Amino acid sequence: MAENIRKNPVIIITGTPGTGKSTHAELLASSSTVPLKHINVGELVKQKSLHDGFDEKWQSYLVDDDKVLDELEPLMEEGGVILDWHTCDIFPERWIDLVVVLRCNHTMLWDRLEKRNYPLHKIQENNESEIMQTILDDARESYAEEVIVELKSESTEDLESNVARIQQWIDNWLQSRKAQVSE
């Protein structure tokens, strides 16, 4: 049986809260040369009740990973998806073509999270996670090194450059797929 070859890639845009994941994903989805569906996994969890309740202390949902994966599985075969979430290691490696880990100076990140009115303990935890590059390490433990890219996300210029770089990657991916199909 021939392997199903997706027409468009599946991309994860991940990083500590406040690094610009949703902004990057929205801009990429709206400007891409191929159709890409932006899925904000945190919003999906709320909308579809893919959780086991709400943690008042951390002001976040207790995500049911299995429910999330079951919800997303049918979309992965077709491709053309940007998964936007603060973690990446729950997604099966076979689903993912590119993992973009956004990084930000921790002082700038602190300011961004304060503007979102995050509780102090949540700002501190996320800031420490960014300093310790927790999400980047999780990505490296879960996916092949060649599908991971770490990008700085501190300015509008970074945003524009990053989206252009990801689009170039998509174009290269599509060329590679065309070559595979024609073989």
Residue numbers in the known binding site for ATP are: 18, 20-23, 116
Question: What percent of the residues of the chain are helix, what percent strand, and what percent coil, each to the nearest 5?
Answer: 50, 20, 30
Instruction: With CA atoms as reference, report the closest residue to 130 among 143, 118, 113.
Output: 113
CB atoms under 10 Å from CB of 67, counted, come to 16
Q: Which residues contact 132 (CB under 8 A, 6 or more apart)?
A: none
Which segments are annotated as binding site? 18, 20-23, 116
